[in-house]
């Protein structure tokens, strides 16, 4: 009987160590995922800051309307704010001390928010691009320059949109990986 008690004690000790390893593994996966998402957010904030500075310094020289410049700045600040709000809960929560199912729930919400942001962001970007092209065409007297800027804008919008979609997919894939690790 005494031998069975000692074996049970050894088994309990081994199981408790295994649970700690799993908790550490989950914590590492979650922290790595939060780090990747945080780096993508920094890229996004940097792009927004670049566009705001570009709008203030360069758009007036092309004769763009003050309303267009202000709306561009407001749009970029709104995008940065939306990104911050979308990621706030995941960014500020310490999942290492909490329930892993709660972490999975938050990452599911984050994934849904990123998916929904596409349905808002792309129509806003398309409307802004159309306004930008109209402003260029109507304000610049040299139509060759205007055509070149529109072509450059189309290329820039295509490259930026592709990068944005790739980043969005990577964040959603990261969320899926975290959810799969927790729910297994």
pLDDT, position 131: 95
CA dihedral 49, 125, 112, 94 (to 10 degrees): 0
pLDDT tens per residue across span 4-17: 888 888 877 776 66
By the 8 A CB rule, do 100 and 182 touch? Answer: yes
pLDDT of 92: 77
Structure confidence at residue 98 as a pLDDT band (50, 70, 90): low
In which band, very low, low, confident or very high, does the pLDDT at 97 lie, cut at 50, 70 and 90?
Answer: low
What is the tens place of the pLDDT at every residue in 105-125?
A: 888 998 999 889 888 988 999
Is the four-CA dihedral 8, 13, 16, 18 of positive or negative sign? Answer: negative
Categorize the per-residue pLDDT at 23 as very low, low, confident or very high, splitting at 50, 70 and 90: low
Rounded Cα gap, residues 49 and 28, in angstroms: 31
Nearest-10 Cα torsion for 158, 164, 166, 171: -170
What are the residue boundaries of the structural domains of the chain, listed by start?
Answer: 31-183
Average pLDDT over residues 61-65: 90
Q: In the prediction, which pLDDT does 135 show?
A: 93
How far apart (Å, rounded) are the C-alpha atoms in residues 93 and 162?
30
Q: Which residues of 38-69 are buried (b: 16+ CB within 10 A; e: fewer)?
A: eebbeebeebbeebbeebeeebeeeebeeebb
Query: What per-residue confidence (pLDDT) applies to 50?
Result: 95
Q: Could you report the per-residue pLDDT of 70-79, keeping only the tens digit for each?
A: 999 999 999 9
- CA–CA separation, 71 vs 61, rounded Å? 17
Residue 38 structure tokens: 């945080």
Stretch 159-183: mean pLDDT, rounded?
87
Do 29 and 178 meet the contact criterion of CB atoms below 8 Å apart?
yes
Residue given tokens 């290329």 in the structure block: 155
- Find out whether 93 and 84 touch, Cβ atoms under 8 Å: no
Mean pLDDT computed over 17-41? 74
69 CB-near residues (< 8 Å, 6+ apart):
55, 56, 59, 60
């Amino acid at each position: 009987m005494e031998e069975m008690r000692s074996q049970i004690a050894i088994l309990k000790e081994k199981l408790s160590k295994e649970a700690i390893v799993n908790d550490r593994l989950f914590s590492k996966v979650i922290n790595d995922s939060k780090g990747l998402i945080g780096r993508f957010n920094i890229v996004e904030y940097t792009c927004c800051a670049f566009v705001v500075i570009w709008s203030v310094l360069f758009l007036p020289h092309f004769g763009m309307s003050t309303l267009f410049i202000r709306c561009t700045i407001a749009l970029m600040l709104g995008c940065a704010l939306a990104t911050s709000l979308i990621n706030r809960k995941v960014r500020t929560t310490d999942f290492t001390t909490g329930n892993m199912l709660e972490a999975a729930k938050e990452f599911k919400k984050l994934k849904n928010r990123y998916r929904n942001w596409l349905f808002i962001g792309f129509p806003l970007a398309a409307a802004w691009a159309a306004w930008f092209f109209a402003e260029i065409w109507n304000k610049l007297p040299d139509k060759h320059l205007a055509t070149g800027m529109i072509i450059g804008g189309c290329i820039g919008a295509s490259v930026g949109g592709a990068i944005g979609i790739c980043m969005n997919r990577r964040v959603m894939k990261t969320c899926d990986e975290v959810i799969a690790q927790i729910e297994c």
